[in-house]
Chain A
Amino acid sequence: MTGDRMLHMMRAVTLRVVLVAVSVSLPASLAAQGSGVATYKSMPLEDLGNIIVTSVSKEPAEISQTPAAIYVLTHDDLARSGATSVADALRLVPGVEVARIDTSRNWVVGIRGFGDQFSKSVLVLIDGRTAYTPLWAGVHWPIQDTLLEDVERIEVIRGPGGTIWGANAENGVINIITRKASDTHGIYASAATGTVEHAIAGVRVGGGNGRGLDYRAYIKGINRAPQFHTDGREFDTWASGQAGMRIDWTRGRDQLTVQGDAYKSKLGESVEVSTYAPPARFLVDDPVDLSGANVVAKWHRTLPNRADVTVRSYVDHTYRLGTDFGERRTTIDVDAVHHWFPAPRHEMVWGAGARTSPSKIIQTYSFSNFDPHEETLNIFSAFAQDAATLVEKRLVATVGVKLEHNSYTGAEVQPSARVMWTPSDNATVWGGVTRAVRVPSRVDEDITVESLFQVTPSVIYGAIVGNRELESERVLGTEVGYRALLRPALYLDVAAFHNDYDNIVDLGKPESRTQTTDGLTYLAVRFPWTNSISGTTRGFEVAPKWQPADRLELRGSYSFIDLQLPPTPPPSTPSTLPTLKATPSHQVVGQAMITLPHGLQVDPVYRYVSSRASQNIPPYHTADVRVAFDMGKGLALAVSGQNLLQAHHAEWLRAPGPAVEIKRSVYVRLIWKR
């Protein structure tokens, strides 16, 4: 086999398999308007609600006191970003790489390296539900949607989060928290239309009885248009509908929450298919059918002495049917957490959980299969963490460990140690060492996917095959960080990291054998997944926020990462290394949030992403702008332009075919609230 041909084939196969596929409270001394207390007291009650008291990005107080690299997108940040999906909003977060492949395929979302359509090292939680599929150990963002208006905040923790969050938080955690039902009373209706966002509409209705029972329900629909294709194959359409509800019941010390969502989507996909009778290989452009539903129940009790206990359980059902294969999966999870103060200066959290996730594969063609078709992943876990205050208000040490037993790799131990020093009221220095793992997925363990390589002189198929002997990928992460309010309106957050990885999965040495499928006898060159790559990533993120005036907030970030991985093998050897190395070294975000009188908001964003050299994706600069106007009577109008600096640009290469380019787009949104 010639090298290039083989590489192309294996890339195609690999990719197909894939298938599937603080703000800062401003001290009064800074206040520009009036002389404080006396002025406010003499103002009419009606006017007090117009005073801008703080930046719109106010972070919860505990964030500035967390010994980890954490960044929060608030409800207002999300609205002002103009983003129409959680994944796109994450472009504003330092240390996070987001790439759109086309309209309908999964977003590439990575934290501190290894971003991929099938990113495996980022854990995503939505109100405590793991939004992660054990099919390929990643998050399928298009089905993890909600009404963005009902999201309270998104917390992004860069770095291994293994201790509390369990496996697969190897590079970070994204925690999406929706609003309590008591915060979403009334009617919210929104309709948007634009060049790529053909139609997005959502309605939410909420209420309560004033005695602790609150509820909401929503419905949402999306229709998106294809991006720019140099070859004209506009397969990437998006049509989906979703509905959901939440009920919060509060009585004394107890709170019960029941929430759920159900969705149905058709997402455009292009798949390379191989057949045996006759031996052939061709592209099929056909949408993937996706549907599912989840229900989460949570009980929270506040105990005396600031302690509390939470028990949560959820059921999550997913269904997928694509050209290459289908899967039906139901995940059932229960966990309990107790948070208490066992002794003076000690704050403890411990808990335990169990999860079972049976999956059933639907085979569509002979070329791709999972063996066995039915398999259940079981996970049992327990963790404990103690935060010890060594010097009152100044020095805290945190140690913790999580034990997990899963049906793929058995027992996994993930310890963590962190220290936080608060030298003054306005500055925090923190550091930590964490060991975390990523357990194998069904694609790693059970898959076989073949692709026709040559017909003459003899028929040869190349194959990727799962390996049931795989071990977990491991990382040992070392991090340090510094956060400070440098001046009354200038906040700085800096973090640096060094991560050592072992056991990263690559394709190993092939073995050839003669086999027969659909009556055709041929030579199969089989490449098994193996734990063969070790590597190091290191880098830093700098993220200042500055509020030079009441009505102007400036934010920015610069993220740098250096990947030290083994050399990419010659093109004759298929490998995951080109994808692992695709992370851009430099990313810059500059953002202004301008709040003008009469409810006018102007929010420009500038973004720079350096090249993805291993994919031949050039660097790009682009910009987004949102302008919103409050028309009164509960009506608001917003115009958002995205990717404005060029007609289209590529963000990610997804073979077969040339990279799809992401278009400049504009949409208009009308919002009505009552």
Chain B
Amino acid sequence: MVLATVAACITVAPVASAADATREYQVKAAYVFNFANFAELPAAAFAAASAPFEICAVGKSKWGTALDETVRNEQVGGHPMRVVYDPPAARVRSCHILIVGADVDEVGLLEAVKGAPVLTVGESADFLPRGGILRFVLEQGRVRFDVNAKAAAAAGISLNARLLQVAREVQQ
């Protein structure tokens, strides 16, 4: 039986995250800020022209204050950016970016936002095969990301060519 199972079973919940976000999550927050700017969501994704651009983060928080600090006083297409932590399940379809932690039920979340114009960002190895759009990956100590272009198209989101160029891999 694989260790993953075992580790899961002889493991307590991870200890509380340090008050500071790690540098890894500060860089990921900067990426999320860029994703918001380089992805074009359909107008229907917003209830009003001045409605907020909601970045939802689900899962045990490793973000500290990194996300809040990164998007503070920022806006995208006239929509002020806002961070929402662990929104209720009924609300995730109205998120604009949904960040799915590695420790949550990503299958359930991806099903919940299926067909909605939500830019999903994940961290687990299965995130793209399961229909997620962007996935962070650590490579040689650096943060990179992969793109599932089909999933983006299915959500009605168009990704800027520059984003696709920077991606480690774009799955067509």
Give the contacting residue for B150; candidates A186, A210, A250, A426; CB below 8 A: A210
Residues of B within 8 A of A155 (CB): 3
- Cα distance A55–B66 when bound, in Å? 20
- Cα distance A125–B4 when bound, in Å? 13
Residues of A within 8 A of B16 (CB): 393, 425
Q: How far is the CB of A34 from chain B (nearest CB, A)?
A: 9
Q: How far is the CB of B2 from chain A (nearest CB, A)?
A: 6
Is A45 touching B166 in the complex (CB atoms < 8 A)? yes
- Cα distance A61–B15 when bound, in Å? 10
A633: Cβ under 8 A from any B Cβ: no
Identify the stretch in A7-15, A36-44, A372-380, A503-511 within 8 Å (CB) of chain B at 4 or more residues. A36-44
A-B contact count (CB 8 A): 210
Identify the stretch in A20-28, A131-139, A534-542 within 8 Å (CB) of chain B at 4 or more residues. A20-28
Is A53 touching B7 in the complex (CB atoms < 8 A)? no
Of A55, A65, A348, most buried by chain B (CB within 10 Å of CB) is: A65
Residues of B within 8 A of A182 (CB): 125-126, 128-129, 171
Identify the stretch in B30-38, B46-54, B92-100 within 8 Å (CB) of chain A at 4 or more residues. B30-38
B158: Cβ under 8 A from any A Cβ: no
Q: With CB as the reference atom, state the residue of chain A lying closest to B169.
A: A185
Is B130 touching A398 in the complex (CB atoms < 8 A)? no
Give the contacting residue for A186; candidates B9, B107, B166, B169; CB below 8 A: B169
Residue count of chain A within 8 Å CB distance of chain B: 83
Is A180 touching B126 in the complex (CB atoms < 8 A)? yes
Q: With CB as the reference atom, state the residue of chain A lying closest to B62.
A: A25
Is A177 touching B10 in the complex (CB atoms < 8 A)? no
- Cα distance A302–B21 when bound, in Å? 29
Is B26 touching A385 in the complex (CB atoms < 8 A)? no
Residues of A within 8 A of B6 (CB): 66, 164, 349
Is B148 touching A210 in the complex (CB atoms < 8 A)? yes
Residues of A within 8 A of B107 (CB): 252-253, 302
Q: With CB as the reference atom, state the residue of chain A lying closest to B38.
A: A45
Knowing A210-B151, A211-B150, the reply to whether A54 touches B22 (Cβ < 8 A) is yes
A499: Cβ under 8 A from any B Cβ: no
Knowing A339-B9, A418-B10, the reply to whether A51 touches B150 (Cβ < 8 A) is no
Is A422 touching B15 in the complex (CB atoms < 8 A)? yes
B8: Cβ under 8 A from any A Cβ: yes
Residues of A within 8 A of B116 (CB): none
A interface majority secondary structure: mixed
Give the contacting residue for B70; candidates A25, A37, A60, A396; CB below 8 A: A37
- Cα distance A78–B70 when bound, in Å? 35
Residues of B within 8 A of A60 (CB): 7
Q: How far is the CB of B18 from chain A (nearest CB, A)?
A: 6
Is B7 touching A389 in the complex (CB atoms < 8 A)? no
B44: Cβ under 8 A from any A Cβ: no
Q: With CB as the reference atom, state the residue of chain B lying closest to A175.
A: B3
Residues of A within 8 A of B66 (CB): 28, 36-37
Is A53 touching B138 in the complex (CB atoms < 8 A)? yes
Is A54 touching B23 in the complex (CB atoms < 8 A)? yes
Is B105 touching A302 in the complex (CB atoms < 8 A)? yes
B141: Cβ under 8 A from any A Cβ: yes
Question: A-facing mask of B94-135, CB < 8 A → 1, else 0?
Answer: 000000000001011001000000000000011011110000
- Cα distance A76–B142 when bound, in Å? 12
Q: How far is the CB of A654 from chain B (nearest CB, A)?
A: 33
Q: With CB as the reference atom, state the residue of chain B lying closest to A127.
A: B2
Chain B contacts with A in 67-101, Cβ cutoff 8 A? 69-70
Q: With CB as the reference atom, state the residue of chain B lying closest to A63.
A: B7
Knowing A26-B22, A29-B20, A45-B163, the reply to whether A420 touches B142 (Cβ < 8 A) is no
Residues of A within 8 A of B140 (CB): 56, 76, 595
Is A250 touching B12 in the complex (CB atoms < 8 A)? no
Is A48 touching B34 in the complex (CB atoms < 8 A)? yes
Is B34 touching A45 in the complex (CB atoms < 8 A)? yes
A248: Cβ under 8 A from any B Cβ: yes
Is A212 touching B129 in the complex (CB atoms < 8 A)? yes
Q: How far is the CB of B162 from chain A (nearest CB, A)?
A: 7
Q: With CB as the reference atom, state the residue of chain B lying closest to A207.
A: B171
Residues of B within 8 A of A53 (CB): 22-24, 27, 138, 141-143
A50: Cβ under 8 A from any B Cβ: yes
- Cα distance A426–B18 when bound, in Å? 9
Residues of A within 8 A of B141 (CB): 52-56, 58, 76, 595
Is A50 touching B142 in the complex (CB atoms < 8 A)? yes
Q: With CB as the reference atom, state the residue of chain B lying closest to A550.
A: B141
- Cα distance A50–B24 when bound, in Å? 12
Chain A contacts with B in 199-256, Cβ cutoff 8 A? 208-214, 248, 250, 252-253, 255
Of A38, A40, A54, most buried by chain B (CB within 10 Å of CB) is: A40
Give the contacting residue for A27; candidates B3, B4, B11, B22; CB below 8 A: B22
Residues of B within 8 A of A67 (CB): 10
A310: Cβ under 8 A from any B Cβ: yes
Is B22 touching A37 in the complex (CB atoms < 8 A)? no
Is A210 touching B9 in the complex (CB atoms < 8 A)? no
Which chain B residues have a beta carbon within 8 Å of chain A's beta carbons?
A: 1-16, 18, 20-24, 26-27, 29-31, 33-34, 38, 64, 66, 69-70, 105, 107-108, 111, 125-126, 128-131, 137-138, 140-144, 148-151, 162-163, 166, 168-169, 171-172
Given contacts A62-B4, A347-B11, 20 further A-B contacts (CB under 8 A): A25-B23, A30-B23, A36-B26, A37-B29, A41-B70, A45-B31, A45-B166, A49-B143, A51-B27, A54-B138, A180-B125, A182-B129, A183-B125, A209-B150, A212-B131, A250-B130, A302-B105, A347-B8, A351-B1, A425-B16
Nearest 10 pairs between A and B by C-beta? A40-B30, A210-B150, A250-B129, A349-B9, A53-B24, A25-B22, A62-B7, A56-B141, A425-B15, A396-B12
21 CB < 8 A contacts A-B = A26-B23, A28-B26, A36-B23, A37-B26, A40-B29, A45-B38, A45-B163, A51-B23, A54-B22, A62-B14, A65-B7, A128-B2, A155-B3, A164-B1, A177-B2, A185-B171, A250-B129, A337-B1, A347-B11, A387-B11, A425-B16
